[in-house]
Structures are given as C-alpha cells and as structure tokens.
C-alpha cells in the first residue's frame, strides 16, 4: 500500500518537476546576477551605473566632497561575524556621528554624496562598505537581514574607539531597511538615536517583484524561486520579513523621505509604513526623483529636511508628529 502511495505521489509530482526545473535554472542565474558578488570588481567602489547621468553626477559630487574633507578622513576596519569590513570615517571632532548605509551594489563612495548635511549639522560621518561590497569581505547579499548586525558593530566601534556619544543612521533602499532592523535589535546600543530613511520599501521581495515585472518578466515563479535560494544559502526569509512587518516595533525617531516618482517604494508603501509606525516620526514628500534619486533633484529641500529633523528629534513625540509634505 505504501509503495502504491509513493507511486501516485510521484506521478502527480512529475509534471510539476518538469515545469519548474527549467524555471529554477533561470532563477538561479537571476539570483547569481543580482544577489551574489561574482568577482572582486563587481559591487566595488566604482560607480555602479556610469552610463546613468544622475548616478554619475551623484558619485562625482560625493568624491568632490571627499576631496574637500580628505584631511579629516580615516580608513577604518572592523570584524563582524568573521568578515573584514571597511569604511571611511570623517572625524570633524564632534561627539555625534552618522553611519550612512548604501543600497545594494553600492559602496562607501556612493554614500559620500549624502554626507554634507550631517557635517554641517555637527556630525562626524562614517561611510561603510557593506558585506560583499567595496573592500569588505563576503559574497552574498543578506538584504539587510544580516547586515544590520554589522551596523551595530560599526556603532560600537565609533563609541569605543572614537568616543562618539550619539549615532544616527541614514539609509537608502536596503540601507533604510538595514537601519530599521538595527534599531529594532534587542541589543542595539542606547546611543543609536534615530533613522533617516530614504526610499524604505515594504519588503525586499516586493521591491524585487517590481523590478522583475518592470523588465517584462512574470513574477511567478521567478520571485519565489530566487527568494527560496536566498533563504537556503543565506538563511533569510525575504518574503515574510521586511519593514512592513517590523516598523511598528520602532521606538526611536524616524524621518521618512519619499519621492512620488519612486516605482519600488511607491507612495502607497510610504503611507502604509508611516501609518504603521508608532514611533516619533516625520514624512517629507518630494515631487521629483527616481528611487534613491531624491537629493539630486532637490538638494536644498532634502538637506533642510534632515537638518530640521536632527534639531527636533529629541522633542518629537508620536502623538504630535504629523505628515509634513513638500507640495
């Protein structure tokens, strides 16, 4: 009887295996191209999209800021989960610092473009190579669900080695999600005080789905297969973890920065996350800019929003924090 049962199961499963085997091969290639660092040159410190005018402009402006403040720069290094991680620390002599967390495929050089408002507000600046990026060790992206541990270690390094008393996190895309996971961690240091979240998505899986569909491919079964591979190889569940599942756990102040043109962290996602968040919060809208391209389209307004938030975050209360759109 048991043999007959297994034969029936095999006959029923055979068509599924026949259908999904070739799609799984495609998904494996897709996974390798998007979530695996295939060589030392990929995901390095060079501009990730040199053919894109806006990206190149941001990159060059960041390097110009770096050159202007090169005398304050220190190359820094930590070890987190047995990985050597690298970054650049601009020590202006303050007792406050920002850790700028880039998105996927970007390095500490990309983050330099976002440093100016923090230096002007009295913060030292740490830009980091996330694991598997820049000069840091690692091969696979943990989509923030692994990297948040590294951010906590960077914060401890700033506190213990450089005497920093207050740390804020500024993240773009995956970097914004990573910052959220860090501040929600049970062992987050008390001196982590706030998040500035640029284009925070609902989940990485949903953002990935939108990328797939935008390129003319069906989400099913490729999204599920890629996320399954990530779960097997990295140990993170991108389908059931993400900001939408944990934003309500945040207790520290957060500044949400969104553009109405963002296809991956769209306005409805912004409103949903803002509505779920019970921490002290601000939401600032910008009319122009693709995903992670807000500041290049509204530099002064972007910096002013950060400056105002940093000044008020200590007294910002959940019940009085209203949406503050730029119309």
Banded pLDDT at 113 (limits 50, 70, 90): very high
Q: What is the pLDDT, as a whole number, of residue 269?
A: 97
**Cα 47 from Cα 312, distance rounded (Å):** 34
Banded pLDDT at 325 (limits 50, 70, 90): very low
Q: What is the 3-state secondary structure (H, E, C) of 122-141?
A: CCEEEEECCCCCCCCCCCEC
Q: Is residue 166 predicted with pLDDT exceeding 90?
A: yes
Q: What is the pLDDT, as a whole number, of residue 87?
A: 99
Q: Is residue 56 predicted with pLDDT exceeding 70?
A: yes
Banded pLDDT at 19 (limits 50, 70, 90): low
Q: What is the mean pLDDT of residues 214-221?
A: 86
Q: Is residue 190 predicted with pLDDT exceeding 70?
A: yes
The 10 Å Cβ neighbour count of residue 163 is 8
User: Where are the chain's structural domains?
Assistant: 50-202+242-320
Q: What is the pLDDT, as a whole number, of residue 5?
A: 43
Look at the domain 50-202+242-320 and name its fold: Rossmann fold (3.40.50)
pTM of the model: 0.91
DSSP code string of 32-76: HHHHB--SSSTTSSS-S-TTSHHHHHHHHHHHHHHHHTGGGEEEE
Percent of the chain's residues with pLDDT above 90: 83
Tell whether omega for the bond before 205 is within 30 degrees of 0, i.e. cis: no
Q: What is the pLDDT, as a whole number, of residue 79?
A: 98
> How much of the chain is in helix, strand and coil states, percent to nearest 5?
45, 15, 35
Do the beta carbons of residue 98 and residue 170 sit within 8 Å? yes
Q: What is the pLDDT of residues 273-319, one digit of tens each?
A: 999 999 999 999 999 999 999 999 999 999 999 999 999 987 776 64
């Amino acid at each position: 009887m048991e043999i007959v049962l297994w034969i029936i199961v095999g006959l029923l499963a055979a068509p599924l295996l026949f259908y999904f085997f070739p799609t799984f091969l495609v998904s494996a290639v897709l996974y390798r191209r998007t979530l695996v660092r295939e060589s030392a040159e990929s995901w390095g410190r060079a501009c990730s999209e040199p053919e894109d005018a806006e990206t190149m402009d941001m990159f060059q402006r960041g390097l110009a800021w770096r050159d202007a403040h090169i005398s304050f720069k220190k190359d820094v290094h930590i070890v987190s989960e047995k990985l050597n991680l690298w970054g650049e620390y601009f020590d202006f002599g303050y007792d406050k610092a920002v850790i700028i967390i880039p998105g996927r495929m970007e390095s500490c050089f990309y983050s330099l473009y976002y440093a100016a408002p923090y230096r002007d507000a009295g913060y030292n600046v740490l830009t980091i190579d996330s694991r598997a990026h820049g000069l840091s060790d690692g091969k696979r992206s943990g989509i923030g669900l692994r990297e948040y541990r590294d951010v906590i270690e960077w914060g401890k390094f700033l506190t213990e080695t450089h005497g920093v008393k207050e740390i804020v996190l500024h993240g773009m895309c995956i970097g914004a999600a990573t910052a959220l996971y860090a501040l929600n961690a049970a062992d987050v240091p008390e001196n982590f005080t706030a998040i500035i979240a640029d284009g925070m998505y609902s989940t990485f899986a949903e953002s990935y789905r939108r990328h797939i569909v935008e390129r003319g491919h069906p989400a099913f079964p490729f999204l599920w297969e890629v996320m399954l591979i990530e779960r097997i190889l990295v140990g993170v569940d991108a389908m059931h973890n993400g900001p939408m599942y944990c934003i309500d756990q945040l207790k520290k102040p957060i500044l949400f920065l969104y553009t109405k043109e963002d296809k991956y962290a769209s306005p409805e996602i912004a409103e949903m996350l803002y509505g779920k968040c019970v921490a002290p919060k601000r939401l600032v809208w910008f009319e122009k800019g693709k995903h992670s391209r807000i500041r290049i389209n509204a530099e002064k307004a972007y910096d002013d929003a950060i400056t105002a938030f940093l000044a008020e975050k200590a007294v910002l209360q959940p019940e009085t924090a209203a949406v503050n759109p730029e119309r």
